[in-house]
Amino acid sequence: MRYSQTLIPTLKETPAEAEVVSHRLLLRAGFIRKLTAGIYTYLPMGLAAVRKVEQIVREEMNRAGAQELLMPMVQPADLWSETGRYEKYGPELLRFHDRHGRESCLGPTHEEVITDLARREIRSYRDLPINMYQIQTKFRDEIRPRFGLMRGREFIMKDAYSFDADDDAATKSYEIMYETYKKIFSRCGLEFRPVEADSGSIGGSFSHEFMVLADTGEDTLVICSSCDYAANSEKAAVAAPAVDESPMQDLEKVETPGKRKVNAVCEFMDIKASELVKTMVYKVDGGTVAVLVRGDREVQEVKLKNILGVADVEMADDKEVYDATGVPTGYLGPVGIKVKLLVDQEVAAMKNFVVGANEKNFHMRNVNIGRDFEAAEVADLRQISPEDPCPSCGATLTLKEGIEVGHVFKLGTGYSESMNAVFQDADGQDKHMVMGCYGIGVSRIVAAAIEQNHDENGMIFPMALAPVQVVLLNLGLKDAEITAAAESLYKDMQSQGVEVLFDDRDERPGFKFKDADLLGIPLRITVGKRLTKDGVIELRQRKDGTTEELSPEKIIERVLELIQTEMGHG
RNA sequence: CGGGGCAUAGCGCAGCCUGGUAGCGCGCCUGCCUUGGGAGCAGGAAGUCGGAGGUUCGAAUCCUCCUGUCCCGACCA
C-alpha cells in the first residue's frame, strides 16, 4: 500500500485524553480514533493489526478442531430470561426495544445464543464433541471505559463454546483450549501467564485467565516464587493462620472521641492495626451483612460474593450503615450487632482484639469470638497479601499487575439445564450437554502488545502482529533513478508476498523516519542517495536498530529471511 | 453512582480572576527554498468560544441549568 493513498493520520502531539502508553501510541500513530466514550474506529493500520491477531486466533482455533461461525449481535430478551441473566446481568447489558416493542439487547457474550443453537441442532452423542467459535464485535456498557482499546464498551472478541457428552470429555475440551491459548499468545509475541481465576458472572466450575504482564494492567496476579502456582488475587486462597492460644482477658470499653479510622484508633489506643478488627457493612441482594477483617486487611469482594452466592455486593454508605445498625460508621463492632456476621478466618484465630463498641465515640478492647459474639460463618474473606505463604507450596509470593487477554471457563451443565439443551446418549437416555466457553480479547491484545513493546519513539511490533512487515522509504522523490529503484523494489516485494507500506510521500527524510518509528513496523528499507553513490540500500530493524546495507539484488532475499526467522519464534 | 478536572480553529493550549475588536504553537493551503532524523522564509484559509437560559449598554469571560468528555473512587468506616 502506498502511504500517500492511505489514511495514517499520525500526530506529533499527544491527544489530551490518553493516559496509558498503548492508548497514546494508538492515537498518535493513527491506528484508532474515538467516536464516543469507549467506542473507536479502527483506521487502516489499526485494523491491519487487529486482522493479524484474528488470523493467528483463527489458525490455532481451526487447528484445535473448532469451527468458525458468526452469531447475531442483537439478541432477544426472552433468550436471556431463560437463563435468568436478563435480570442478573445488570446495566452492562445494553437493552432496548425494537419497533414492535420487543425487548432486545446487544450481545456482551453468546452463551444463550449458542446454547439455543445447540439444543435445536444437536441430537445425538454422535454429534459431540463440538466446539464453535466466532470473532465478533461485542458490546458491554462498562461503568467506566478507559485506556483506549484496553477497556472499551465496543470491542472485538473471539468467543468459543464447547459441548461434550460428559464431564471427562468436557475437561478434555477445556485442556485443548488451554493449550491452544498458550500457542496463540506465544505466537502474538506476548509475555503472559495463565492464572487460576474466579468464574464471575459467566458461572461455571473452574477457570483460568491468561494475563499479559504489564504495569498498566487492571488485575493483580499472585505468583509463587517457588512452585508454578499463579492466580488472580480475587481467587487466591489465603492459608488459615494458627490460632492464638492466649488466655482471654476482660472485655473493656474505651472512650475514643472522634476516632473513626483504623489509623486514628490505633494511634489513640497505642495498638497496631493487626490487633484491631474492622467491621465492614455490605449490601447484598436487598439485605445487609457485616464482614470482619483484621484492621490492616482488605475484604475481597469476589470471595464475599462467592460465599454468599450472590451476583453483587456493594459497600453500604454511611447512611445505609446507620439505617441498618443504628451506629455511625467508625464505631461499628460485632458485639450486639443486628446484622448477619461473616468473619474472616484470620479474625477467628485472633484473641483479645479491638473493635468498635456500636456506640459513637467508643471502642472495645479484649474482644473474643465465641465469648462476646458469634459468627454466622467463618471463611476466607480477605485479599491475599505479599506476606502470605503460597497456598500451594508455602513459599513466598509476589504480586504483579496484568492485563487479561483470555479467559477459559468450564461451565458444566448450568446453561444446558436452564435452556434444556439435551442430546440422546448411547444408552438411549437424554442427557444435558456439558459446556465450556473460551474468550480472547482480540482488540485488547493489540493494546497489550503495545504496552509490552514500545520505546520513546513509538510502537515496536513483533512481526506476527505488525500491520505490515516492511516500510519502504523513498528519500529521492526528485531523483529519477532512486525513485525508479524504490518503485521496482516495492513491486517486487509485493509480488513475493511481502507486506509493505511504501512511503512515497513528498516529505523530508526526518519526517518519514519519525513516522516509520512511530508505526512500529519491524523492518525499514531506505532507498536514497546511498544507492546512487554506493549502490546500496539500507535495511534497519525497528526492535534493536540493527542496520545493514545491501545491494538491491540481495535485499528482498534478506527481508524474506528475517520475516521467516521472526515469525518462527513469535 | 460519588468526587474532581476539562470543553475556545483539525490537534495541543492561552485569554476568563478584573466583561469592551478571539489569540499562540503545530497541522492545513499557496509560493520560494530545502531533502538521511519531525527544516527555513513569505503569504493565506479556518472558530455558532459545548448547548440553553439569565445578568448587563455589552458575555469566551459573571450566574443557573443541561450535555459531552477525562481522571480518581465505587473495598478499608
pLDDT band at A204 (very low <50, low <70, confident <90, very high): low
Q: What is the pLDDT of residue A201?
A: 55
- Whether residue A569 is predicted with pLDDT greater than 60 in this model: the reply is no
- Span A406-431, average pLDDT: 95
Q: Within 7 Å: CB of A299 and strand B?
A: yes
d(CA A349, CA A372): 14
pLDDT band at A9 (very low <50, low <70, confident <90, very high): very high
Q: Within 7 Å: CB of A514 and strand B?
A: yes
- Whether residue A117 is predicted with pLDDT greater than 50 in this model: the reply is yes
Amino acid at A469: Q
> What pTM, to 2 d.p., does this model score?
0.91
CA of residue A518 to C1' of nucleotide B49, angstroms: 34
Tell me which residues from 323 to 342 on chain A have a beta carbon below 7 angstroms from nucleic acid strand B.
Answer: 329-330, 332
Q: Which three cell numbers stand for residue A541?
A: 530493524
Among positive and negative, which fits the CA dihedral A105, A106, A110, A113?
positive
Mean pLDDT of chain A: 92
d(CA A500, CA A72): 35
Q: What is the pLDDT of residue A308?
A: 83
Q: Within 7 Å: CB of A517 and strand B?
A: yes
pLDDT above 90 as % of chain A:
67
Amino acid at A405: V
d(CA A364, CA A528): 81
Q: Which of A56-60, A195-199, A222-226 shows the lowest per-residue confidence on average (mean pLDDT)? A: A195-199
pLDDT band at A570 (very low <50, low <70, confident <90, very high): very low
Tell me which residues from 239 to 278 on chain A have a beta carbon below 7 angstroms from nucleic acid strand B.
Answer: 260-263, 278
- Span A527-532, average pLDDT: 96
The phi, psi pair for A7, rounded to 5°, reads -80, 100
Query: A533-554 burial, b for 16+ CB within 10 Å, e for fewer?
Result: eeebbbbbebeeeeeebbebee
Which residues are CB-contacts of A318 (< 8 A; sequence separation ≥ 6)? A328, A329
Quick check: helix, strand or coil at residue A501? strand
Residue A325, CB-side half-sphere exposure with 13 Å CA sphere: 34
- Span A363-386, average pLDDT: 91
How does strand A130-139 pair with strand A154-164? antiparallel
pLDDT above 70 as % of chain A:
98
State the nucleotide closest to A318 in CA–C1' terms.
B77
Q: Which three cell numbers stand for residue A216?
A: 498498566
CA-nearest of A552, A540, A541 to A493 is A552
CB A442 within 8 A of CB A147: no
CB A221 within 8 A of CB A402: yes
- Span A546-568, average pLDDT: 95
- Span A449-466, average pLDDT: 95
CA of residue A14 to C1' of nucleotide B58, angstroms: 38
Give tens-digit pLDDT for A39-80: 999 999 999 999 999 999 999 999 999 999 999 999 999 999
**How many CB atoms lie under 10 A from the CB of residue A402?**
26
Amino acid at A467: P
Cα dist from A192 to A21, A37, A49, A196, whole Å: 18, 28, 19, 13
State the nucleotide closest to A477 in CA–C1' terms.
B35
Q: Provide Rg for chain A, Cα atoms.
A: 29
Peptide bond connecting A129 to the previous residue in cis, omega within 30 degrees of 0: yes
Protein-contacted bases of chain B (C-beta within 7 A): 1, 11-13, 25-27, 34-39, 68-77
Alpha helices by DSSP H, A143-223: 167-187
**How many CB atoms lie under 10 A from the CB of residue A382?**
23
Strands (E), A214-276: 219-224, 230-232, 252-255
